[in-house]
Amino acid sequence: MGFCIGIDLGTSGCRVITIDEQADVVSTKSRSLPASVSPAQGEQQQDPQDWWQTVSELLQETVAEIGNKPVDAIAVDGTSSTLLLTDQQGTPITPALMYNDSRSRDSLEILNSVAPVGSPVLSASSSLAKLLHLSRKQTTESYYALHQADWIVGRLTGNYRISDENNALKLGYDPITRQWPEWINRLDFNTNSLPQVHPCGRAIGKLSREAAQASGLSSGTIVVTGTTDSNAACLASGANEIGDAVTSLGSTLVLKILSDKPVYDSRYGIYSHRLGDRWLVGGASNSGGSVLRHYFKPNQLPGLTAAMKIDQPTGLDYYPLVSAGERFPINDPDLAPRLSPRPESDSIFFQAILEGIAKIEQQGYQRLQELGAPSPKRVFSIGGGAVNEPWRRMREQYLEATVIRAAQQEAAYGAALFALNRVKADR
């Protein structure tokens, strides 16, 4: 058996990871992407051609490193809701509107009149909002709507009509019925521009001759549908069983858990991504590492971490937020930060904030469980906060579950696992 490759396209960079049959990393290549351009406030766009140039160069470097070892399969993940329009040959006819581009506010009134309450499309940054905005500016009806990962898959295969069930979620695709919903036909755009949606991890073709020449890979390499970058990072962590959860300890606190059924609740911003017969259910709190950065400098954190005494709780009932407003696990746009009284000791204040975030994590998984998700059996930690060992032990006490620092959290590794699992399933 040969190697498998995962490609991760983010906002600021691209990473390519190659793994062997045992899922061990044999090569890692990365490169920055040109910065997004902001023509006006709330607008963020990139040139898709920059993505392909970077991907093809990183693949060439990968091939040079791994030598003559064949690559059996390749999968791609990209940022959720990053969208562009192309012509029927896959040539971009618009810039790519990035995941955080909100110029499509003009689409929200229309979407609110058509889409179900709580639908993931009801956001100015959703893929469907962007599609409506971009389509109004087109003089031709012959165009395709593609996400970041979709377009790279098109460059690899020559087929620009394909998306996966995770990327297509915020374009309006219904992963429960596995089809485009009826209500989408009531919108004023050419529905023939919508991609053909396949399950994640599905083999959908082989490298085109042009892509093989540009990358140095064999034209026999299979291309497998991927997912979004956040989902790929979750899968990279090692979560693979019902009840496995992933907590991202970054600027915000993001919780996801593998479930045997989907869970949706618009009150808390909870929705589910389909992964075969399983679902990745998630919610995000406004609490997280941004609170720590607000009160402490980075060079203070190691000393404060060393001073933690998790067997001596502070007794301070904090709800750490930088500013007012929370959606999950509490839905209250006016919820005020609770960070007082502040003790004189910075180390006690630091520990109390981490206790507060741990309580929010506990409440978050309880909320998901109340709504139908399983209770967490294992919690894999990713993000910058995952390196804090005392905090990990503290969180185990709150969650009453095994908390594991993920050995892998690179989205490209998760994409490579999609490719590897497809090859193994086909053997």
What's the confidence (pLDDT) of residue 137? 87
pLDDT of residue 118: 87
pLDDT at 37: 95
Q: Residue 68: pLDDT above 90?
A: no
Percent of the chain with pLDDT strictly greater than 70: 100
Residue 390 has pLDDT above 90, yes or no: yes
For the cut 90, the answer to whether the pLDDT of residue 56 exceeds it is: yes
Q: Mean pLDDT across the stretch 265-273?
A: 93
Question: Is residue 302 predicted with pLDDT exceeding 90?
Answer: yes
Beta-bridged to residue 248, according to DSSP, are: 254, 382
Own/partner pairs, 60-66, CB within 8 angstroms, 24+ separation:
60/214, 60/215, 60/216, 61/29, 62/5, 62/16, 62/18, 62/27, 62/29, 63/215, 63/216, 63/217, 64/216, 65/27, 65/29, 66/3, 66/18, 66/26, 66/27
Taking 90 as the threshold, does the pLDDT of residue 1 lie above it? no
Residue 15, both tokens:
């990473």
- Structural domains of the chain sorted by starting position, each given as residue range(s) with its CATH number in brackets: 3-231+411-426 (3.30.420.40), 241-405 (3.30.420.40)
CA distance 66 to 69: 6
The pair of three-digit structure tokens given for residue 251, joined into one six-digit string: 């600027």
Q: What is the mean pLDDT of residues 5-10?
A: 97
Helix (H, G, I), strand (E, B) or coil at 108: helix
Both tokens of 307, joined, read: 């001073």
Average pLDDT over residues 118-126: 92
| Residue percentage of the chain with pLDDT more than 90 | 96
Q: Please report the pLDDT score of residue 277 as a whole number.
A: 95
Provide mean pLDDT across the span 33-59: 96
Mean pLDDT of 315-342: 97
CA 226: distance to chain centroid? 11
Residue 401 has pLDDT above 90, yes or no: yes
Tell me which of 8-22, 128-142, 390-404 is least confident. Answer: 128-142
**Predicted confidence band of residue 301 (pLDDT cuts 50, 70, 90):** very high
Mean per-residue pLDDT, 330-351: 97
> pLDDT (tens digit, 9 = 90+) per residue, 204-258?
999 999 999 999 999 999 999 999 999 999 999 999 999 999 999 999 999 999 9
Helix (H, G, I), strand (E, B) or coil at 78: strand
- Give the three-class secondary structure for 226: strand
pTM beyond 0.85, yes or no: yes
Please give the average per-residue pLDDT across 346-368, as a whole number: 98
**Residue 146 pLDDT exceeds 90:** yes
Predicted confidence (pLDDT) per residue in 150-163, tens digit: 999 999 999 999 99
Q: What's the rounded mean pLDDT across residues 399-418?
A: 97
Confidence bin at 427 (pLDDT 50/70/90)? confident
Cis? peptide before 34, omega within 30° of 0: no
Local confidence band at 75 (pLDDT 50, 70, 90 cut-offs): very high
Q: Mean pLDDT across the chain, nearest whole number?
A: 96
